[in-house]
Amino acid sequence: MSRRTHRRAAAAGTAALLSCMLLGAPAAHAAPPAPDGKGGWTGTWGTAPAPAAPDGISKEGLDDRTVRMVVHTSAAGGELRLRFSNAHGSAPLALGRTTVALPGPGPNPAPAAGTLRPVTFGGAGTATVPVGAEIVSDPVPFDVPADRDLLVSVHLPKPTGPATWHWLAQQTNHVSEPGDHAADAGNGAFTRAETSWFFLTGVDVRGKGARGTVVALGDSQTDGVKSTLDGNARWTDALARRLTADPAGRGLGVLNEGLGGNRILRDGSETDRPQRGTAAAKRLQRDVIDRPGVRTAVLYEGINDLQLEPKASAAQVLDGLRGMARRLHEQHIRVVVGTLTPFKDSPFHTPEAEKARSEVNAALRSPAARADFDAVVDFDAAVRDEADPQRVRAAFDGGDHIHLNDAGYRTLAEAVPLAELTGSPAPAVHGR
C-alpha cells in the first residue's frame, strides 16, 4: 500500500489535531492490496480538483452554506472515509459539520431514513484544510453498496474564497440557504442546483472484499461530457459495473480523474479556462499515484493537446504518455493506454490535428508500444465510423461530433479487457 506524508493542522473551533494529507506526497506501491481489503483502503469514487473559473459560483466561493453532493460508488465496503481538497484555494478552508448518507428517492434527494452518519476529522466535528492540502476524514462505519449513490453534506461556515471544485460533474448537486443543514433530514433548505462538486475529491472504502483501485486519467471523454445528467453513464461507470459483475474484478474500485479540456502537457489558461486544470503530467502524482490501493491506471488523454492552441505535436503527446507510464511503473502500477477517438466535423477538427491523431494512434498500435505500456485499448476502433474513420459513428455521437453519448461510452468500457485490470501479466493490444 502507499506510504503517505501527513501534516497536522488545527481543527476549527477546537484544539484537536488532525491528519492532513499533502498533495504531491511520495507514495510507493510494493504490492497489490490484500484480497479481502483488510490490507488498506480502496477508492470507490473520486474526481479531479481544479481551480475556480474566472466567474460564477466557484470564483465567488461559498460562505455559511451547506453543499449536499451526490457521488456514485464503484466498490462496496464496510466503512468509508472522505477526502476534501483545498488544492487551489487562496486561504485555509473551514469545514463545518459533515455527514454521509444513502439518498432517498427523488431528483433532489434527502437522506434515506436511518442512514445519516456524522463524519469527523481527528475526532473533531470540524476541520481546517491548509492551502494546497487535502484532508482525509476518520473512518465511518457504513454499509457502502457497490453501484449506488451516496449523499455527502458539508457545511462551509466561513468564506471559502475561490473554490477548489470539479466543474463538469454530470451530476446535480445542491447548495443550501445560509446555515448548517448538513444533518437535515429533508431537502427544503437546498434551493440552488449546481452541476459541479465542491472541495470533495474522494470516497474510500475498506472491508467487504474491497481490494484495490483502477484510476482513469483523462479529459472530457473520461469526464463523461454529453452523457445523461445524473445517469452515471460515463465510460468509467460502465467499466465499474462490468468489474462488479465479474468474479475476477469484483471488489476493484474505479476512480474517474477526467477533467474537461485537460491536456497532458499544458495547464488550463489562468485567464480563460483555469477549470481545465493542471496538466495531466503534473497532476499524475496527486490524482493517480497518491490514491489508495492503486493497481492499474488507464491513460486516455492527448486530443486536447493536438487541437488547442498552442498545439502539441504527435511526438510530444507520445513522449508525455510514455513519461507518465514510466512514473507509474516505478510505483508498480500497471498502465493501460487508450487510442484517441475521432472528432471530424467538430469545431476543433483540422487536417493538421487529424494527421497528428493518426500518428499517435499508429504509434500506440505498433508492437513497440508494448515496451512502454502493459496494454493498449483501441478506443478509436471501437467507436469510429467504418465508412469514414475520421468520424464518430452516428449511433455513438453525443451531438458535437467529438464527445460520445451513453451508448458510445458503454462501448468504450466494453473495449477494455478486464484481465488487464485484474493483473493479467501479458501485455497486448486490444480492440482492433
For the domain that residue 334 is a member of, what is the CATH number? 3.40.50.1110
Run of H or E including 21: strand 17-22
Q: Say whether both 155 and 227 belong to one domain.
A: no
Q: Say whether both 276 and 373 belong to one domain.
A: yes
pLDDT 10s digit of each residue in the chain, 432 long? 333 333 333 333 333 333 333 333 323 333 343 333 345 999 999 999 999 999 999 999 999 999 999 999 999 999 999 999 999 999 999 999 999 999 998 888 899 999 999 999 999 999 999 999 999 999 999 999 999 999 999 999 999 999 999 999 999 999 999 999 999 999 999 999 999 999 999 999 999 999 999 999 999 999 999 999 999 999 999 999 999 999 999 999 999 999 999 999 999 986 679 999 999 999 999 999 999 999 999 999 999 999 999 999 999 999 999 999 999 999 999 999 999 999 999 999 999 999 999 999 999 999 999 999 999 999 999 999 999 999 999 999 999 999 999 999 999 999 999 999 987 433 333 332
Q: Say whether both 188 and 239 belong to one domain.
A: no
Q: Pick from 42, 395, 418: which is nearest to 252 by CA?
A: 42
Q: Which of 196, 226, 247 is the last residue of a domain?
A: 196
Query: If you write DSSP's letter for every residue of 336-391 in order, what string do you get?
Result: EEEPPPP-TTSTT--HHHHHHHHHHHHHHHSGGGGGT-SEEE-HHHHHEETTEEEE
- Total Cβ atoms within 10 A of residue 185: 12
Q: Which of 196, 230, 254 is the last residue of a domain?
A: 196
* Dist CA 118 CA 111 (whole Å): 12
Whose cell is 484544510? That residue is: 129
Q: How many domains does the chain have?
A: 2
Cα angle vertex 80, ends 279, 258, to 5°? 20
Q: Which of 196, 221, 243 is the last residue of a domain?
A: 196
Asked whether residue 432 is assigned to any structural domain, the reply reads no
What residue numbers bound the domain in which 416 lies?
211-425
Q: Say whether both 296 and 189 belong to one domain.
A: no
Query: If you write DSSP's letter for every residue of 137-184 in order, what string do you get?
Result: PPPEEEEE-SS-EEEEEEEE-S---SPPEES--SS-EEEESSS--TT-
Q: Say whether both 174 and 298 belong to one domain.
A: no
First to last CA, the chain: 34
Asked whether residue 14 is assigned to any structural domain, the reply reads no
* Dist CA 52 CA 167 (whole Å): 8
Q: Say whether both 287 and 360 belong to one domain.
A: yes
